[in-house]
Amino acid sequence: MVPSPSWISRINVPSPTAIRQILYGVILGVSLSIASTSLAVYYQARKRERRAAQYQPRPIELRREEVLSGVTGLIGNTPLIRINSLSDALGVEILGKTEFLNPGGSVKDRVALRMIEDAEKNGLLYPYTGSRIFEGTVGSTGISIATIAVARGYNATIIMPDDVAEEKVKALLALGAEVERVRPASIVDKKQYVNLARRRAIDFGKRSSLDRANSLTDNGSPHLLKSPPSVVISTLSTHATSGADADPRADEDIISKPRGFFADQFENKSNFEAHFDGTGPEIWRQTDGRVDAFVSGAGTGGTIAGVGQYLKSMNEDVIVALADPEGSGLYNKVKYGVMFDRKEAEGTKRRHQVDTVVEGIGINRLTNNIELALPIIDDAFRITDAEAVSMSRYLVHNDGLLLGSSSACNLVACVKLVRQMGWKDGQKIVTILCDSGTRHYSKFWNDEYLHTANIPNDSHIVLDLLDTPITSSSE
Ligand SMILES: *[C@@H]1O[C@H](CO)[C@@H](O)[C@H](O)[C@H]1NC(C)=O
Ligand SMILES: *[C@@H]1O[C@H](CO)[C@@H](O)[C@H](O)[C@H]1NC(C)=O
Ligand SMILES: *[C@@H]1O[C@H](CO)[C@@H](O)[C@H](O)[C@H]1NC(C)=O
């Protein structure tokens, strides 16, 4: 027998058998805890393997040897570029998804295509039936819808606030869309552009079914008078669906009826899905599954929700950060849980819903697509107009990239995130280059306009931002 060490005799342990039992107990406990830890590690590894199996790595297709079917064939599958100036300055990889290369000129092409395709799949829309698509938008989604509508045999009516950049209206008119411009108003106002788009879709549906019924009555088939008006409201969130056809596939007559279709990018989940099934997987492939953060603004919330959720489903450690312009309530919602904006509280908010030169992102109400985004947003950055303008000038001078306001906002947020995380070892930050500067000549790229708005038009703010030493908790 091994003599008991002195400490055992001091605590007065009765017998060697008891010591053995204690030892066994300790060994059992330790091995159990090792077993459970390794079990957890094992399950995590399995989860990763399963995800990896779902993800089929394939190169991003080059369209060299392929003939695409029409303009919609050009939508999506956009290249990812390294923003060289910012990446070199920060020692990380700032990567931009070049959505401005879509045929309609913006990331919204993906959303418009998916909304229209889903409506066709669900039997709500049929091409070449005289049907008309209605949407309320600050412009880009309208241009995308107008483009796809022509290609697919629909007409489009776009309702937009009257303060958006003039070049967007010109593009819409050139594409043959009907444009209605309204005073910016709150969402509770019936004349707010989104509400008006829904209203117009309903009116169109009622009118066209009435016209049709009348012409058929002349031909001696009055039964159609009783058929419901051909109004299609895509979202369930509205009470106006009562006029929709119960079973749209019921018969030929109903199918060939002209319909008013309200696309509703703010509420419809097709928006989210376009990014969850398209943009997200593309980014994962293009970075070979190595992405540390995704940064995006939110106008409807579809992009950040769809891409963010997809990337997190592949690797839960991916950081999702929101870039929010001045006047938007989302920053406060993410940071403090309330949609409170200081400008609004002080009564300095003017007639704009979101008072900023940045168009297309920022919002002051919760929509279905924003709700999908909120749970996965890890951090938010408030970007001032001056910062966004500064970034756009910096990029044009250093990279030859002429970008729109939301892209510039996104890139300022990328820099802020990198500084906050203290990253400098090649971490990959992906963001969206939503549209080109050519969509923004009348405001964001108009030096005189900026001068009257008292917004500096050089890149010194970005230079300062890149120069500031890294602090652990700067905003
Ligand atoms: C509606 O679209 C059809 C086919 O796409 C076109 O022939 C027609 O001129 C359009 N109507 C209007 C009023 O724009
Ligand atoms: C979105 O629109 C489709 C038709 O395009 C409709 O069937 C669906 O119910 C809508 N979904 C939501 C969540 O609103
Ligand atoms: C800023 O705007 C002024 C006109 O207001 C213009 O002369 C100048 O070139 C602009 N500077 C930059 C860096 O774009």
In short, whether 144's Cβ falls inside 6 Å of ligand 2 is: no
pLDDT for 241 equals 37
Which of 447, 450, 459 gets mutated to test ligand 3 (max ligand atoms within 8 A of its CB)?
447
pLDDT for 221 equals 41
pLDDT for 147 equals 97
pLDDT for 361 equals 86
Q: What's this model's pTM, rounded to 2 decimal places?
A: 0.80
**Which ligand is closest in space to the CA of residue 392?**
3
Segment holding 283, helix H or strand E:
helix 280-286
The CA-CA-CA angle for residues 145, 151, 154, to 5°, reads 65
Structure tokens of 434? 């939503």
Separation between Cα atoms, residue 363 and residue 298, nearest integer Å: 7
Separation between Cα atoms, residue 60 and residue 76, nearest integer Å: 11
Atom 14 of ligand 2 has which residue's CA nearest to it? Answer: 235
Helices (H), 80-162: 84-90, 108-121, 140-152
Q: How far is the CA of 369 from the centre of ligand 2 (A)?
A: 12
Which of 71, 155, 157, 200 gets mutated to test ligand 1 (max ligand atoms within 8 A of its CB)?
155
pLDDT for 218 equals 44
In short, whether 122's Cβ falls inside 6 Å of ligand 2 is: yes
Q: How far is the CA of 359 from the centre of ligand 3 (A)?
A: 21
How far, in Å, are 179, 191, 404, 408 from residue 165 at the CA level? Answer: 14, 20, 11, 17
Contacts (Cβ under 8 Å, ≥6 apart) of 116: 125, 133, 145, 148, 149, 152, 154, 263
Do 191 and 161 contact (CB within 8 A), yes or no?
no
Atom 4 of ligand 2 has which residue's CA nearest to it? Answer: 119
pLDDT for 9 equals 44
Instruction: Catalogue the long-range contacts made by 188-196 (C-beta closer than 8 Å, 24 or more residues apart).
Output: 192/136, 193/136, 193/137, 193/159, 193/160, 193/161, 194/136, 194/159, 194/264, 194/266, 195/136, 196/136, 196/159
Contacts (Cβ under 8 Å, ≥6 apart) of 173: 179
Query: How many other C-beta atoms can be found within 10 angstroms of the C-beta atom of residue 201?
Result: 27
Separation between Cα atoms, residue 379 and residue 293, nearest integer Å: 11
Pocket residues for ligand 3 (CB within 6 Å)? 393, 447-448, 451, 457-458
- Going from the first residue of the chain to its last (475 residues), give the mean pLDDT of each consecutive group of 10, the final group possibly shorter: 48 62 72 69 67 55 74 95 98 98 96 95 92 91 96 95 88 95 87 91 80 52 39 44 44 74 92 96 96 96 97 97 93 88 48 66 89 96 96 98 97 97 96 95 93 94 86 48
How far, in Å, are 180, 195, 262, 294 from residue 287 at the CA level? Answer: 42, 40, 36, 12
Tabulate helix, strand, coil % of the chain (nearest 5): 50, 10, 40
